[in-house]
Structure 1
Amino acid sequence: MANYIFRILKSASLGKMKEAVKTCHERSGKSSLKIFFDMLYCAKKYGAGYYDYQIFAFYNLNKKQRSTYVTRLVSKKFNTFMNDYAYDHFLENKDEFNELYKNCVRRGFIQLQKASREEVKEFCEKREYIFCKMQDLECGHGCERIKISDYKSFDELYKYLTDRQFCILEDNITQHPDVAALYPNAVNSMRIITVLDSKGEPHVLYIVQKMGIGGSIIDNNCLFTPVDPETGKMLYPAHSGDTVKGIIYEEHPETHIHLQGYTIPYVKEAVKMVLEAAKVTPQIRYVGWDVATTPDGPEIIEGNTYCAHDFWQLPPHTPDGIGMLPKIKEYIPEFFCGGKEGIKRNFDWLKK
């Protein structure tokens, strides 16, 4: 732990750390010096960097509450504990993923690098739009939505596709009208986090609904809010996606739909789908699934094998100041046995 903390401090941007101290001071009213030393304490005690300290508002939490949070160090340990990354290519490589998980992928697709020129031409001629992805990028990077008629000829289009080295060409996903109403320019996907327990049984940890904003054709780094897995209702106002600024929206700023209580269709079906998908590659036990909601039901867009820890536990969505570790412990108790690979935490006080 001490070596890890030393590496964090050594690689930390002093300017950004000073800015974090200043922000926490302004938000809490506590002295900057007290905030600084409390940050160091939380780094040592909970594996929390200054970024964690700021975005989770540790300055407002007591020691017991802080112990429940998945921090930077805990997240790294848990990802490593759960996933054998020799197998992550089955999810990270778009062509392998679409083939292996094709029962969860409703949209048509073609592998550009394996298909003949004529097969690509036939695929494109039948569509007004195609969605293009690169091999192993995620979070919307390397994606492009292309309108076929924007190109004078197929030769021009094919040259562009091959020059860009796209891996997969897909149908443009049509959203359920209730989801498209939130923001029509992007596929507003759910992020559903699953874990496989020691017996190979899958469980859902958390669901958030993501929403595009500002003309973006992807929903990453945009608005999000937790969703109830039983009712499909949005549980809170949406977070801006900027975890440092932490702006909250009662309604979508462009479509003006009130968000808390808004119902997402087919959530139970989406949960059932990802629980089955979670068993396909059992060596990867911890996955963040991006799931689209179409008029005919859910379909998986992709699976992420290194899950971020921040958007699960932000203050607007955790009014009790309790992070995700207690829920993780319900399903993966072996991670909490200490040692080099795990951590030691006791949450019996939550049951009182």
Structure 2
Amino acid sequence: MPLALGPKLRYLVGRARRIDIGSVIERAKEAHDQHGKAVPAVVVDMLWSAAKHDVAFQDYVDYDFAMLTKQERATFMTHPVSMQLAARFSKPEGRAIFEDKIAFNKRFADHLRREWMVVTDDNAEEVRAFVERHGTVIAKVPVSHMGLGVRRYHAADVEDWAGFHKRLLESDEILLEEVIRQHDDIAAYCPGTVNTTRIVAFFDGTDVHIIAVAQKFGRGAVSDQMSYGGFYTMLDPETGHALSAGYDSHGHVHETHPDSGLRIADFQLPRFDEAVALIDRAARVVPEVQYAGWDVVVTNDGVDLVEGNWGVGVYENKPSVSGVRTGNKPRYRAAMGF
């Protein structure tokens, strides 16, 4: 089933209007520094790849397209293609559940292993009891993206509970959650951040297909997203073992975790089969969203579902780090039939 021409044309028109040639040149310089290709040639190649093959400029850099052949490039999923697929395989009523963290927690309550509550105008005492019981809590803005709108609060730091309750309401940080206690093997890499696993899956109406798995690592901040200094490595989708060192979209490669010194390529996700089984169940709950990126945290006792993302971010192999010059697009095609 080919991708619809209309969405692609709208994407190209929108991208042409927003193009920042200075940004393109900066990314081309990154490719030059990494692979020795002439900047003008890279700029032309980037623009052609975007127009002809739906390759975002950052995808071009992240996936080392400057060092790959045409055939190798064709094996990588890109953000523009992923977004077209997300639009095709989701409906507005399903997206609304995924976009609102409170609605998501309510719908997926059976798959959550942590306590949570909603801050309202009249529950200041309940908020105090919740925070004091857990000691440290995570506060979230219900509708936010890329790990933004997430803060960590400690009961010991709160002197004015009425004022604290008021600030939560005013900042729209109205979803409070117990801090997930991650598995000891994961905490060994970075105990200061809850390190999530991204599992990309597709529900075809009968079976759930696991397409790609990435392990994210934080740097001690409240989130493991790149905007907080985090990075990731791809995991073998059959075993849950790391395929290479870690990397991010800022040119940083991590052979070891900068804080713990543990080797990223040695990482094995504990309870991997349980994580896959959880997604097999969760992916069926909202059939209006067939294609999603699921974030889970493995604990000593099981696997906790953090959130689902209908606008699926792409996590791919980085050839210059792993030595593997192919991506996951064939797995997407086999599962989704495009």
Give 2:303's aligned residue. Answer: 298
Separation in 2, partners of 1:328, 1:230: 15
**Residue 194 in 1 paired to residue 201 in 2?**
yes
Assess if the C-alpha contact under 8 Å between 2:194 and 2:223 holds in 1.
yes
Give 2:243's aligned residue. Answer: 235
- Once the two structures are overlaid, the 10-residue window that deviates more, 155-164 or 260-269, is 155-164
Assess if the C-alpha contact under 8 Å between 1:46 and 1:71 holds in 2.
no
TM-score of the pair, normalised by structure 1:
0.86
* CA 23–102 in structure 1, closer or farther in 2 if over 3 Å, else same: same
Separation in 1, partners of 2:154, 2:78: 42
Q: How does 1:301-320 map to 2 (within 5 A)?
A: 301-309=306-314, 311-316=315-320, 319-320=323-324
TM-score of the pair, normalised by structure 2:
0.89
Q: Any idea what SS the aligned residue of 1:40 has? A: helix
- Once the two structures are overlaid, the 10-residue window that deviates more, 171-180 or 83-92, is 83-92
Assess if the C-alpha contact under 8 Å between 1:47 and 1:71 holds in 2.
yes
* CA 268–172 in structure 1, closer or farther in 2 if over 3 Å, else same: same
| Structural RMSD (CA) | 2.1
Given the alignment, which residue of 274, 285, 289 partners 1:284?
A: 289
Q: After superposition, what is the alpha-carbon deviation per residue over 1:83-128, rounded to whole angstroms, capped at 9, x for unaligned?
A: 1133212122111111111111111111113873443333233221
Assess if the C-alpha contact under 8 Å between 2:121 and 2:169 holds in 1.
no
Output the amino acid matched with 2:242: M
Given the alignment, which residue of 61, 65, 74 partners 1:58?
A: 65
Q: After superposition, what is the alpha-carbon deviation per residue over 1:149-189, rounded to whole angstroms, capped at 9, x for unaligned?
A: 21124323322222222221111111111111111111011
Q: What is the deviation of 1:29?
A: 2.9
Q: Any idea what SS the aligned residue of 1:98 has? A: helix
**Residue 25 in 1 paired to residue 32 in 2?**
yes
* CA 110–314 in structure 1, closer or farther in 2 if over 3 Å, else same: same
Give 1:266's aligned residue. Answer: 271
Separation in 1, partners of 2:39, 2:136: 53
Separation in 1, partners of 2:108, 2:9: 41
Give 2:4's aligned residue. Answer: none
**Residue 148 in 1 paired to residue 148 in 2?**
no
Q: What is the deviation of 1:217?
A: 2.0
Given the alignment, which residue of 328, 331, 334 partners 1:327?
A: 331
Q: After superposition, what is the alpha-carbon deviation per residue over 1:196-231, rounded to whole angstroms, capped at 9, x for unaligned?
A: 12x342111111111111x41211111211223443
Give 2:189's aligned residue. Answer: 182
* Percentage of matched positions with identical amino acids: 28
Any stretches of 5+ residues in structure 1 without a counterpart?
Answer: 337-352
Q: Any idea what SS the aligned residue of 1:169 has? A: strand
* CA 40–275 in structure 1, closer or farther in 2 if over 3 Å, else same: same
Number of equivalenced pairs? 328
Output the amino acid matched with 2:309: N
* CA 2–155 in structure 1, closer or farther in 2 if over 3 Å, else same: closer
Output the amino acid matched with 2:243: L
* CA 9–248 in structure 1, closer or farther in 2 if over 3 Å, else same: same
- Once the two structures are overlaid, the 10-residue window that deviates more, 12-21 or 178-187, is 12-21
Separation in 2, partners of 1:285, 1:277: 11
Q: How does 1:11-90 map to 2 (within 5 A)?
A: 11-90=18-97
